[in-house]
Amino acid sequence: MNDARRDEICAVAIAEIFRGDGEILASAMGTLPMIGARLAKLSFEPDLLITDGFAYALGNVPAVGGGDGPEPIVEGWIPFRSVFDLLWSGRRHVLMGATQIDRFGNQNISCIGDYRKPTVQLIGTRGAPGNTLNHKTSYWIPVHSKKVFVEKVDVVCGVGYDRAAALGQTSACFHNVRRVVSNLGVFDFETPDHRMRVRSVHPGVSIEEVISNTGFELVFSEPIAETRLPTPGELGLLRERIDPLGLGSKELRA
C-alpha cells in the first residue's frame, strides 16, 4: 500500500515539470520546489543542473536542510550576473511562487491593491518579466484559494499567455508558462486559447474542492486525471536521500 503524504505527491508533480528539460539550470525557489527538482535529477533527468539555492552549482544531490546524506559537491559558482547568461539563452527553467495568478498565467508577487497605494506590499516584480519572456517558467502554490487564483491580478509581474500574445511574436517567441502545481492539483495551459486547464487533482481532492477555491472558470478534460503517486523508488529517494527531515510537509498548511 502506498502511504505517500500530500507533500510527497506534490514533490513528484513538481519533479514531472522538469521531465524532458535535459541539461539546463533548474531554478527551484522554495522547499518543495528544491525537493522536486532534486528528485527529477536523481530519477529521470540526470543532466539537470541544480544549485544550493544561492550561488553554487552542485555536482551531487545532497539532502535538503542537511541531515546524514552526502556532503554537497560544489562544481561551480554562479554569481547573479551569470544567471542572466543562462536566462537570455533560454537554458533555464524557473519554478517561482505566485501571490496571485489568473487564468492565462499572469502572476503577481509585487503588491495587493492599487500599486500606487497598495494595501499589502510584497517582494516586488523581481525577475519575473524576464523569466517568463525568455525561458520556461512554472509556479508552485502551497495554498490553493480564491485569493491566489484570481480573475485579474493586481499587478502583472510574470507575463501570461494573453499579454505575451499582445506583445507579438518577436517579444514573446520564447514565452512558455509550462505548469502550475498547487496543494490541490496540477494545471497547465495546453488549450486552444491558453486558458488554465486542470491537468490532474491530487488523491483525496475532489474537483468540487478545486472549483470552490478558484476565482475563475477552469478548463477540464474528461476524464479528470488523478495526480500519480510516488513509486516505491521515489518514496525511498524522498524519505532517505532528499528530504529525510520531512521539511516538505512543513510547506503545506494542515
In a structure prediction context, what are the per-residue pLDDT tens digits for the chain, which is 254 residues long? 479 999 999 999 999 999 999 999 999 999 999 999 999 999 999 999 999 888 899 999 999 987 677 888 998 998 888 888 888 888 899 999 999 999 999 999 999 999 999 999 999 898 899 999 999 999 999 999 999 999 999 999 999 999 999 999 888 889 999 999 999 999 999 999 999 999 999 999 999 999 999 999 999 988 999 999 999 999 999 999 999 999 999 988 64
Could you tell me if 11 and 32 are in contact, meaning their C-beta atoms sit under 8 angstroms apart? yes
Compute CA distances 193 → 103, 123, 201, whole Å: 10, 30, 22
Count the residues in the chain: 254
Closest CA to 89 of 41, 136, 55, 159: 136
Cα-flanking dihedrals φ and ψ of residue 84, to 5°? -65, -30
Could you tell me if 20 and 53 are in contact, meaning their C-beta atoms sit under 8 angstroms apart? no
Can you tell me which residue has the cell 500530500? 6
Q: Which CATH topology does 6-251 take? A: Glutaconate Coenzyme A-transferase (3.40.1080)
Identify the pLDDT of residue 253: 62
